[in-house]
Amino acid sequence: MSTRVAIAGAGGRMGRMLLNLATAHPELTVTAAFEVTGHPVVGEDIGVLAGTKPSGATVTDDAAAALAAADVVIEFTLPEPSLDHLRAAADAGCAVVLGTTGFSAEQQAEIDALTTRMAVLQASNMSVGVTVLTQVVEDVARRLGPTFDIEIVETHHRKKKDAPSGTALTLGQAAARGRDANLAEWATYGRSGIVGERPDDEIGVMALRGGDVIGDHTVYFYGTGERLELTHRAQSREAFASGAVRSAAWIARRPPGAYAIRDVLFGEA
C-alpha cells in the first residue's frame, strides 16, 4: 500500500525538490502540501508545482488538514513553525521526517517528548554520504586515539541562519563518542586572542559563510608528521531531499519513537 506523504514549506527550493522526488517515488503518494498563509503557491496544484502532471490536489495553508491526510510529513522549515507542525502531527498520528536545524535546547526537549506519541526521524543532514561519514568519523577518532587533534570546518552559503551547522555538530558528537567524551565539554567554537596551547581534550568547530555554497564539511585529524582529512561536499540539495524521501518511505508505519537516518541505512540500533 502506498504511503501518503505531506510536504511542509512546499513553496521553497527544498520543498519543491521534495515534491518532485516524492511524486516520483514508487512507494509514496503526495496527498498534501502546505505553506504559510499568503504564500504565492497556496492554491496551486501540487502536481504542477512538483513539475509533473496536475494532481487535482492543491497547496493549502491549513497544516492540520494537510497532516490529517498523510501518514508522514517531511519537514524542512524553521524551528518555530516546525515545532507547531510537530505538535499538529502528534495530534494527527502522522510520522515526521525532520530536517530542520537550529533548535534550542528547550525546543529539542519538546521534540524528544513528542516522540513518545509518534515516530520522528530527525537528522541534521539527510545526505546518505554524510550519514556514512558520521559513522566513519567516530571509528577513526576511536582508532587514532588521543595523540591526534580533531578540528571540524564547515562552509555554507551566506544566507544560512544558524552556526555552526547541525551537521558540523553531529560530526563533532561522533568524534567525541570515539574519544569517550562529551562534545559540550570539549567543543571550542572559534578562537581569538592569546588562547594558549591547544589542550588534548578539545574539538574545534569552525563555521565559514559565503556565496552560494550548499554545504561542505571536513573533519581533520592532526597527528605528529601526518594528518587525515575526511570531507563531504554537497553539490546539490537533491542529496538532502533524496535521503529525506527515502526516510519517509521507511518510517511511515514505525511505532512511536526517535529515529535517525542511520537506522534507515544500517538498521535500528
Residue pLDDT tens, the chain, 269 long: 799 999 999 999 899 999 999 999 999 999 999 999 999 999 999 999 988 889 888 999 999 999 999 999 999 999 999 999 999 999 999 999 999 988 999 999 999 999 999 999 999 889 999 999 999 999 999 999 999 999 999 999 999 988 999 899 999 999 999 999 999 999 999 999 999 999 999 999 999 999 999 999 999 999 999 999 999 999 988 889 999 999 999 998 899 999 999 899 887 54
- Short-list 111, 149, 141, CA closest to 260: 111
Distance CA 200, CA 70 (A): 49
DSSP string of 168-209, one letter each residue: HHHHHHHHHHHTT--HHHHEE----S---SPPSS-EEEEEEE
Q: Output the domain CATH number for residue 255.
A: 3.40.50.720
Q: Same domain, yes or no, for 177 and 94?
A: no
160 catalytic? Reply is yes
Q: How far is CA 87 from the centre of its chain?
A: 19
Could you tell me if 250 and 135 are in contact, meaning their C-beta atoms sit under 8 angstroms apart? no
Q: Same domain, yes or no, for 229 and 241?
A: no
Structural domain boundaries, residue 29: 3-126+237-266
Q: Same domain, yes or no, for 55 and 91?
A: yes
Q: Same domain, yes or no, for 8 and 43?
A: yes
The catalytic position among 25, 85, 156, 217 is 156
Q: Same domain, yes or no, for 174 and 50?
A: no
Distance CA 170, CA 135 (A): 10
161 catalytic? Reply is no
The catalytic position among 39, 85, 157, 160 is 160
Could you tell me if 36 and 61 are in contact, meaning their C-beta atoms sit under 8 angstroms apart? yes
> Of all helices (H) and strands (E), which one includes residue 84?
helix 79-92
Q: Same domain, yes or no, for 10 and 119?
A: yes
Number of domains present in the structure of the chain: 2
Distance CA 19, CA 35 (A): 13
